[in-house]
Structure 1
Amino acid sequence: MKLNRSYLILTLILFITEVFIGIYLHDRLIRPFGGDLLVVILIYCLIKSFLNTPWLKTAVGTLIFSYIVEISQYFNLLSHLGLQNSKVAGILLGHSFSWGDMLCYTIGISIVMIIELIYSQPNNLPKTKII
């Protein structure tokens, strides 16, 4: 376990963005879809901030976790746990299933995978000159 400052900074930026979206945006596009797209990237960056795991396994694991949370909404997990009135549980787990959310999670992780794939290629690293 080693702290990765780059991922930690991205995590903090994404968290602040999510809070901003949740508090100030009440539209029909960014709040419902942009927030879901960003949340999987936030979870991925949070994991990579503290664990040196392979990016592909981390991305797939994050996507599976997100799907499980969304499917738990379909089965009304909060009600089964007696947490339907808990604001915190509602924020963390959500209340209603949506195929659109599943699509947003998939797009968010696809963005992560494309970026990681680009940065994992040795030929795409910035060139530095040693004098």
Structure 2
Amino acid sequence: MNISLKFSARYFILAILLLVTEILIAVYVHDAIIRPYIGDLLVVILIYCTVKAFINSPVLKTAIAVLLFSFLIETLQYFKIVEVLGLQHSKLARVIIGTSFEWVDIAAYIAGVLVVLFAEKLAGNLK
């Protein structure tokens, strides 16, 4: 596997735009679809773009690693990691880590990775 440190302005800009979008969703959107599901879909894309902004790595392996990381975070939510770490009173920790396991979140993460793979295929980065 060919992995190296390399800055990518394109992925960095995408990551910043996605971060701003996620913050706007968290602050201003309080619905039953966009915040919980589209937010989860976008966060996987955000993590992917952040990784690719600094690390030159294969698309598929990076997407799978991001998906597995997302699954890990969701599993930690199942085990109430925020409370275990004593961070239940930290709004930031509760927002970033999350507090409740849901199978539909797993589906949103998978959908996010599929969007990444589709976009990378369209861009010619995935053979």
TM-score normalised by length of structure 2: 0.91
For residues 34 and 23 of structure 2, the distance between their equivalents in structure 1, rounded to whole angstroms, comes to: 13
Per the alignment, residue 4 of structure 1 pairs with 8
Indicate how the Cα distance of structure 1 residues 41 and 71 shifts in structure 2: closer, same or farther if over 3 A, else same. same
Establish whether residue 100 from structure 1 lines up as the match of residue 104 from structure 2. Answer: yes
Q: Could you say what secondary structure the match of 2:47 adopts?
A: helix
Establish whether residue 62 from structure 1 lines up as the match of residue 77 from structure 2. Answer: no
Counterparts of 1:74-93 in structure 2, within 5 Å, are: 74-93=78-97
1:72 to 53, 62, 76: 76
Per the alignment, residue 126 of structure 1 pairs with none
**Partner amino acid for 2:112?**
G
Aligned residues: 123
**Partner amino acid for 2:50?**
L
Coordinate RMSD, CA, aligned = 1.6
Establish whether residue 26 from structure 1 lines up as the match of residue 26 from structure 2. Answer: no
Q: Deviation above 3 Å: which 4+ runs of structure 1?
A: none
Residue segments in structure 1 that go unaligned for 5+ positions in a row: 123-131
For residues 28 and 102 of structure 1, the distance between their equivalents in structure 2, rounded to whole angstroms, comes to: 16
Name which of structure 1's ranges 109-118 and 48-57 shifts more when overlaid on structure 2. 109-118
Q: Deviations over 1:77-123 (max 9, x none)?
A: 1111222212222122100001111110000001101121232369x
